[in-house]
Chains A and B, each alone.
Chain A
Amino acid sequence: MTHYSALSLVAKAFSGHRSWSRAWRDPVPKPAYDIVIVGGGGHGLATAYYLAKEHGLRNVAVIEKGWLGGGNTGRNTTIVRSNYMMPGNTMFYERSLRLWEQLSQDLNFNQMVSQRGQFNLCHSPASLDAARRRGNVMRANGIDAELFSREEVMRRLPYLDYSDDARFPIIGSLFQPRAGTVRHDAVAWGYARGADALGVDIIQQCEVTGFILERGAVVGVETSKGPIRAKKVGTAVSGHTGYLAAKVGLRLPLETHVLQAFVTEPLRPMIDSVISYAAAHFYISQSDKGDLVLGGDLDGYNTYAQRGGLPLVEHTFASAKALIPSISRLRLMRQWGGVMDMTMDGSPIICKSPVDGFYINGGWCYGGFKATPASGYCFAWTLAKDEPHPDNAEFTLDRFRNGYQIDEKGMGPTPNAH
C-alpha cells in the first residue's frame, strides 16, 4: 500500500499518476474466518478496521452484496455532531466526534472533516428552554455547546427569514462549534484501505443469502459465492437488520423506513455551517462543490425501496423556502433515498444477540453516518471480547424488555416519529 503524502503525490505526478497501487485487494473468499462482518458500508468496514487494529484480529472478512459505500454511507447528508443528552447516547456520540477529529491522520486518508459548526434553531420559549437544558447536559459532559440569542443568530446567519410573517419565528439557537461535515465516500474508502492493509479480506459483489446454523448457533454465512464459515458473524447492514435477523429466527423492535436527501445546483459560498430547522425537521449545509445538501423527514411508512415519494420532496422544499427564501428558485440536481432501521426508541442496537455467534450492529434510525467511527470501535470491542464497551453498554436488545429505552425525542414506541 502506498503511503499517501504530498511527497508521494509529487513523485507519482512524474509518472502521470499511472503508477498508484490499488487501495485494497479483491480477494477470493477463504472457506473460513474468525469473524465475518456482513455489510461493507462505513460501519462494517470501521468494525473490521478496529478489530484488526485494536484487538489484533486479522482473520476477518467483510462481505458486501454491492460495492463499498453504495448503501447508506453514500446516501446521507454527511453531518457529524454529538449533541445528545440521554445517558447511553451522549458519550457514545462524543467518542465518535473525537474519532472523526483524528480520522484523517489515523487512516492516512483525507476525510475532509470540516468542523464548521451546527445550529439547532429554536422557535418557541419552550424549545429554547429545551435547547438550554441539552446544552447544559453536553457541557457537563465536556462537550462544546453554546446558546445563541435571536440577535446572534441574525448576525451569523443573515439570510434566514426573520420577518414578521416567517412560518416559524427564530428566537435563538443551540450551537455546537465542533460539529460539521465529513466526506462520506472517503469514510468507506479510508476504512477499507486501512482494514485491507491490516489483512482484512473485503469481498464485494457477494450477497449473504442465509446463515449456517449448528446446534442453534450461527457458524457461518451462505453467500452467492458459496458458504463461508466463521466463529462469529456480525451484521452492519443498515435497514436490512430485521430482514437478516429473521433468517436466524429473531424478531426485532424496529421497522424499516426510507429517508430522502437532495442536492441543488452549485452556488457561490453561502452557507458556512450546518443548519437544522427544528420546527420543520429540516437540515441544510453546503458542500465543497457549492451545491446545497438538504434533507427532511421520513416518508413515514414501512419500505425497503431506496427511493422516496413526492409528498416529502414538496415538504422538504417548502421547509427550505420557509427558512431561506432566497434559495426558492434553485434547481434540484439529484435526489436519493436510503432505507434504515427505525427502532422503537430511536436509538441504536450494538450487542450480542440471543443467538450464539450472531452479533447485531443496527437500529441507526437516521443518525448512522455521524456514528460510524464509534459504531465500528464499539462493535469491534463487543465482537472481540463478548462484552460491550462502556460506550455501547446501553445499546442492547434487552432494554426494550427491561424498560430502559433511550428515547432522545420522547416519542414512545412509534418508529416513524423518531
Chain B
Amino acid sequence: MLRFKCPVCGLRDETEFDYGGDATVVRPATAETAFEPWYDYVFLRDNPRGPHREFWHHSRGCRQWVVVERDTLSHDIGDVVLARDAVKENRS
C-alpha cells in the first residue's frame, strides 16, 4: 500500500487516490500548431527507472490533484504538493 501525505488531508492510503500519470509532461499552448510538440505531449514519456514526478487525484478525499515525487524502483515517496502550486512553478 502506497501512502501519500496529502497537503490538505494528511497521510492517506493509495486507495483514496486515482493515478494521473507523468507530471513532467507539459501540454503545449492551445495556439501551438506544430506537430512535434503535440506528438511528444500525447505519446512520448521518459518512463524513468528511479525518481518520478506524477499526478494523483485525491478523488475519495479532498478531490484535489496533487504532484507526488515517488521512486519507481523503491517506491520511496518524497514531497507531495498541490498540483496547482506545481504548475505555477512550471510556468515561472
Bound-complex Cα distance A414 to B42 (A)? 9
Q: Which range contains the number of A residues in contact with the other chain? A: 20 to 34
- Given that A302-B22, A303-B72, A304-B72 are known contacts, is A309 also in contact with B14, CB under 8 Å in the complex? yes
CB-based contact B22/A303 at 8 Å: no
CB-based contact B15/A304 at 8 Å: no
Query: Nearest chain B CB to A344's CB is how many angstroms away?
Result: 5
CB-based contact B72/A305 at 8 Å: yes
CB-based contact B19/A304 at 8 Å: no
Query: Nearest chain A CB to B54's CB is how many angstroms away?
Result: 7
Query: Nearest chain B CB to A306's CB is how many angstroms away?
Result: 10
Q: Which range contains the number of B residues in contact with the other chain? A: 20 to 34
The answer to the question of A329 belonging to the interface, with a C-beta cut-off of 8 Å to chain B, is: no
Bound-complex Cα distance A311 to B21 (A)? 19
Bound-complex Cα distance A252 to B39 (A)? 11
- Residues of chain B with a CB closer than 8 A to A256's CB: 47, 49, 72
- Residues of chain B with a CB closer than 8 A to A414's CB: 21
Query: Nearest chain A CB to B61's CB is how many angstroms away?
Result: 15
- Residues of chain A with a CB closer than 8 A to B45's CB: 242, 251-255
Closest to B74 in A: A305
- Given that A243-B49, A309-B2 are known contacts, is A303 also in contact with B43, CB under 8 Å in the complex? no
Bound-complex Cα distance A161 to B46 (A)? 44
CB-based contact A251/B44 at 8 Å: yes
Query: Nearest chain A CB to B36's CB is how many angstroms away?
Result: 9
The answer to the question of A4 belonging to the interface, with a C-beta cut-off of 8 Å to chain B, is: no
Q: What are 22 A-B contacts defined by CB distance under 8 Å?
A: A243-B49, A246-B46, A246-B47, A252-B45, A255-B22, A255-B47, A256-B47, A256-B49, A256-B72, A300-B19, A301-B54, A302-B22, A305-B72, A305-B75, A309-B14, A310-B1, A311-B1, A311-B14, A311-B15, A400-B43, A401-B39, A413-B43
Other contacts beyond A300-B19, A302-B47, A311-B1: 9, CB < 8 A:
A242-B47, A252-B45, A254-B45, A255-B45, A256-B47, A256-B72, A302-B54, A309-B2, A311-B14
A interface residues, Cβ below 8 angstroms from B: 240, 242-243, 246, 251-256, 300-305, 309-311, 344, 400-401, 413-414, 416
